[in-house]
């Protein structure tokens, strides 16, 4: 499953992982989230605990290009730089250039399925 992430006039393609949280996220699309710029390395929306299922998904270090879920706060996070030891459940990743996010501020981010036909 692939999705698009659009913000600030830029679009990225993200490949979702094969796990319950990624599949649940896919089912919520299209979705626009107000995301905060946190710690100088991630965009984050705290949606509330239980937003996505996280059972059985290991937490791993977050790297630039990762779309992650932090289950305690139900946060959807997109990392535009490598984190400083932050671990979350990875639900997707992009290898596309992220330079346009380096000096970003809080913003709305829209996630859409790359091909609507894949969603059914």
Is the pTM above the cut of 0.85?
yes
Classify residue 81 as exposed, middle or buried by CB count within 10 Å of its CB (0-12, 13-18, 19+): middle
Residues 6+ apart with CB under 8 A from 28: none
Give dist(CA 54, CA 57) in Å, integer.
6
Q: Say which CATH number the domain at 115 has.
A: 2.40.100.20
Write out the two tokens for 92: 């997707």
Transcribe 79-91 into DSSP letters.
ESS--SS-EEEEE
Each residue's pLDDT, cut to its tens digit, for the chain (120 residues) gives: 999 999 878 999 999 999 999 999 999 999 999 999 988 899 999 999 899 998 888 899 999 999 999 999 999 999 999 998 899 999 999 998 888 887 778 899 999 999 754 444
- State the residue range of the domain holding 61: 2-119
SS3 state at 27: helix
Number of structural domains the chain divides into:
1
């Amino acid at each position: 499953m692939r999705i698009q992430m659009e913000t600030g006039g830029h679009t990225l393609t993200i490949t979702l992982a094969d796990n319950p949280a990624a599949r649940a996220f896919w089912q919520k699309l299209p979705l626009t989230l107000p995301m905060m710029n946190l710690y100088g390395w991630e965009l984050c929306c705290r949606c509330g605990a239980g937003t996505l299922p996280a059972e059985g998904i290991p937490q791993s270090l977050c790297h630039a290009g990762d779309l992650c879920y932090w289950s305690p706060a139900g946060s959807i996070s997109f990392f535009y730089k490598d984190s400083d030891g932050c671990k979350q459940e990875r639900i997707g990743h992009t290898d596309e250039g992220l330079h346009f996010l380096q000096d970003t501020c809080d913003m709305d981010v829209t996630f859409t399925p790359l091909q609507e036909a894949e969603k059914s």
